[in-house]
Amino acid sequence: MCANVDFYSGFVYNMLGIKEDLFTPLFATARVAGWCAHIIEENINCSRIMRPAYKNVIKESLYTPINKR
């Protein structure tokens, strides 16, 4: 498993004496601030949604209608 900083934030919250019930709200609050900053940056710099580079390694397959799945 490749761990990022969020993996360790629970340990830090615990060491700071923060109750476990608040771990998720703290995590979500930090994410919302970042998402808002990203949207503001997109609106200022261009009129389209920016996404990080992504390379699809899955083989392309034909669409199967729902009634034939």
Are 13 and 22 spatial neighbours (Cβ–Cβ below 8 Å)? yes
Q: Looking at residues 29-48, what average pLDDT do you find?
A: 84
Query: How many domains, in total, are found in the chain?
Result: 1
Mean pLDDT of the chain: 85
Choose between 22 and 46: higher pLDDT: 22
Q: Looking at this protein, which amino acid is placed at residue 41? A: E
CA distance 8 to 40: 28
Please give the sequence-ordered ranges of beta strands (E in DSSP) within 1-69, or none if there are none.
none
pTM: 0.50
Task: State residue 1's pLDDT score.
Answer: 62
Look at residue 37 in the predicted model and tell me its pLDDT: 87
Domain that holds residue 32: 5-68
Which whole number is the average pLDDT over 37-66? 81
Q: What is the Cα–Cα distance from 32 to 54, expressed in whole angstroms?
A: 23
Element (H, E) at 27: helix 23-45
